[in-house]
């Protein structure tokens, strides 16, 4: 791995507090590159942990009719797959590159057992993995909260309020395009666009593309 990739790995939550990246050799880590729209991990794939080291990717699922559900977006140093590896559950989502993308792939089967040295780095890695899985659970529960709202306006307000809290202010950028936000909130894109326009007209929010500002609460 080149120095740039190593630096991106160090920024990942999985590697927090770990100085000895020789640990990656124990896990069969390899670097892979993907073009825009390419599938990094597919349904039923062999469990693996993926760290995005360049570009970005989307975690999604689709039904038999092709309806798309966006679960989350991953930027550089983002992590995917830990929950599947440690639960031994079949992979039920896809990870797709949003743009030309580089990722470090770690063999899920090798992550279940400590290396021969049973080193402190491996113990720390397991602790970090638990934090990553816990964070994923919190994000999932947050999405369930948005989807539980009855109307498109309530879903949008729930999502934007959560983003405001995370960013520490009423003005922020979201990681989604209009179609992606519609897929994330499980609403029709036209209905979403119409509702955003009404909310802007009603003085609740202001926005330009993916930049939003909450003006007042309902």
Q: What is the pLDDT of residue 216?
A: 73
Helix axes 152-167, 189-201, angle to 10 degrees: 70
Question: How many CA atoms does the CB half-sphere of 114 hold within 13 Å?
Answer: 11
Dihedral in degrees, nearest 10, Cα atoms 41, 43, 49, 53: 20
- DSSP letter for 158, please: H
Average pLDDT across the chain, whole number: 89
User: Lowest mean pLDDT: which of 109-113, 175-179, 186-190?
Assistant: 109-113
What is the spatial distance between Cα 153 and Cα 195, in angstroms, rounded to a whole number? 6
Q: Is the pLDDT of residue 74 over 80?
A: yes
Sheet holding 211-214, edge to edge: 171-173, 211-214, 205-208
Q: In 3D, which of 27, 42, 141, 32 has the Cα closest to residue 90?
A: 42
Q: How distant is the alpha carbon of residue 22 from its chain centre?
A: 26
160 or 139: whose pLDDT is higher?
160
Q: In 3D, which of 162, 165, 150 has the Cα closest to residue 195?
A: 150
Q: What is the pLDDT of residue 210?
A: 94
Secondary structure element (H or E) that encloses residue 101, with its range: strand 101-107
Positive or negative, the CA dihedral 35, 41, 47, 52 is: positive
- DSSP letter for 21, please: T
| Model confidence pLDDT, tens digit, residues 1-17 | 778 888 888 888 888 88
| Model confidence pLDDT, tens digit, residues 131-145 | 998 988 898 899 999
Q: Is the pLDDT of residue 61 over 70?
A: yes
Mean pLDDT, range 202-211, rounded to an integer: 94
User: Which positions ≥6 away from 205 have C-beta within 8 Å?
Assistant: 160, 196, 199, 212, 213, 214, 215
Q: Is the pLDDT of residue 113 over 90?
A: no
What is the spatial distance between Cα 157 and Cα 152, in angstroms, rounded to a whole number? 9
6 or 211: whose pLDDT is higher?
211
Q: Is the pLDDT of residue 218 over 60?
A: no
Q: What is the pLDDT of residue 19?
A: 81
Helix axes 152-167, 120-147, angle to 10 degrees: 140
Which structure tokens are listed for 150?
Answer: 């009855």
Q: What is the pLDDT of residue 38?
A: 95
Contact 108, 49 (CB under 8 A): yes
Residue 173 class from Cβ within 10 Å (0-12 exposed, 13-18 middle, 19+ buried)? exposed
Q: What is the pLDDT of residue 64?
A: 81
């Amino acid at each position: 791995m080149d120095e740039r990739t190593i630096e991106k790995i160090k920024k990942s939550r999985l590697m927090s507090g770990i100085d000895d990246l020789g640990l990656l050799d124990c896990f069969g880590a390899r670097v892979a590159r993907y073009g825009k729209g390419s599938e990094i991990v597919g349904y039923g794939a062999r469990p693996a942990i993926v760290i995005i080291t360049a570009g970005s990717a989307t975690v999604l699922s689709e039904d038999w009719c092709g309806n798309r559900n966006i679960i989350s977006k991953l930027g550089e140093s983002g992590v995917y797959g830990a929950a599947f590896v440690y639960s031994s559950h079949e992979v039920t989502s896809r990870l797709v590159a949003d743009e030309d993308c580089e990722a470090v792939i770690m063999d899920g089967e090798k992550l279940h057992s400590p290396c021969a040295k049973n080193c402190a780095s491996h113990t720390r890695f397991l602790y970090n993995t638990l934090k990553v899985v816990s964070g994923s659970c919190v994000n999932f529960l947050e999405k369930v909260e948005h989807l539980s709202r009855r109307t498109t306006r309530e879903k949008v307000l729930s999502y934007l309020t959560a983003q405001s809290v995370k960013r520490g202010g009423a003005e922020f950028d979201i990681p989604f395009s209009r179609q992606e936000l519609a897929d994330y909130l499980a609403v029709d894109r036209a209905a979403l666009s119409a509702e955003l326009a009404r909310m802007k007209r009603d003085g609740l929010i202001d926005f330009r593309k993916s930049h939003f500002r909450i003006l007042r609460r309902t």
